[in-house]
Structure 1
Amino acid sequence: MILDPGALVVLIGPAGSGKSTFARRVPASWRVCLDDLREMVSGDAADQSATPVAVRVQGLVLEERLARGLTTLVDSTNLEGHVRRSLLARARYWQRTPLAVLFEAPVEVCLHRAARRQRQVPPEVIRAQHRRLPLPGDLRAEGFAEVHPMHLTDSEEVPT
């Protein structure tokens, strides 16, 4: 995957699908992670009550990075259409190329990976997230310039 300078890379997938593993393989300065921001504002990455503040901080960071033409990777589930529309609107405003990386790991794999984590996501939440996984064609129709499906063995690939 070759990125245009200043691209907005949106990771999309349920908990345990490999998003954060993938994100750790790109420069740390590219990564805007909602879990990290929740932890920053509340001391706990799993504290969902901190999400509204974390989302506002994420928005500020995204605006600054896109305005400066810096490649930015959004590491969160991004399974809700309104969240993706907001990200796409920012990319359009700043004339940045929006790319989607779609993590299509089977639900059983997501459940297995999530069970091994210190921070637990309930299985019913992961199943619900997995059901909301968009199709590549839907993401292209939303406005993503490119959609890169990632499968279990693909997470070694790193954007350059």
Structure 2
Amino acid sequence: MNHPTIHLPASALILLIGVSGAGKSTFARRHFLPTEVISSDHCRALICDNENDQTVTADAFELLHVLAAKRLKRRRLTVIDATNVQAGARQSLMDLARQFDCPLVAIVLDMPEQVLNDRRKTRTDRSFADPVLHRQRRDLWLWTRYLEYEGFSKVYRLKSPEEVDQIRIIRQPEQ
């Protein structure tokens, strides 16, 4: 069986992009070392012991950027686990990639609405109101259509749980 493949440079900034419940954190745990992944939720928890506390979001993203910069400075593969659905939210991360002259890769988890709704019903760790998810889905549609023009060297779009389950990641060796 021929599985879809994602080819990643040895040193890169990878943005996972998708609405809440799309499976970004699960994808990150499956394919990357825990030390390679910087999660906005984890950064919230580091600040206030609650990854769902949206009142510390600004501080959490400040911490996320500091950690990403430290890793990129050392040419370490760095994965950002956040919604990243709006171009403005991605800009400062894109600036970091340019600052450290590393490739920028987008992995978009663009799941069908029914999948998102089903997952939302089974999540006990948090709840999102319909308007939040509708806004995130709209932003995903509006702001990720032209990722190639934003400066991403590669864009991978996964459109179903089956595609996510079958994906293989191949890392290019250091040069």
Given the two structures, how large is their TM-score scaled by the length of structure 2? 0.86
Question: What is the deviation of 1:108?
Answer: 2.0
Deviations 1:63-104 (A, max 9, x none): 000000000110000012112111111101101100001111
Q: 2-side partners of 1:95 and 1:128: how far apart? A: 33
Amino acid at match of 1:140: E
Cross-structure match for 2:21 = 16
Report the secondary structure of 1:133's partner residue: helix
Q: Is the 8 A contact 1:111 1:126 kept in 2?
A: no
1:159 matched to 2:169? The reply is yes
Q: 2-side partners of 1:155 and 1:133: how far apart? A: 17
Which of these residues, 72, 81, 90, is aligned with residue 84 of structure 1?
90
Identity of aligned residues (%): 30
1:138 matched to 2:146? The reply is yes
Cross-structure match for 1:38 = 44
Deviations 1:91-139 (A, max 9, x none): 0110110000111101221121122111112222111100111465500
Q: 2-side partners of 1:22 and 1:112: how far apart? A: 18
Q: 2-side partners of 1:24 and 1:108: how far apart? A: 23
Gaps of 5+ in 1: none
Report the secondary structure of 2:140's partner residue: coil
Amino acid at match of 1:13: G
Gaps of 5+ in 2: 1-5, 171-175
Q: 1-side partners of 2:50 and 2:120: how far apart? A: 17
Q: 1-side partners of 2:76 and 2:168: how far apart? A: 17
Cross-structure match for 1:106 = 112
Given the two structures, how large is their TM-score scaled by the length of structure 1? 0.94
Aligned pairs, number: 160
Task: Give the aligned CA root-mean-square deviation in angstroms.
Answer: 1.4
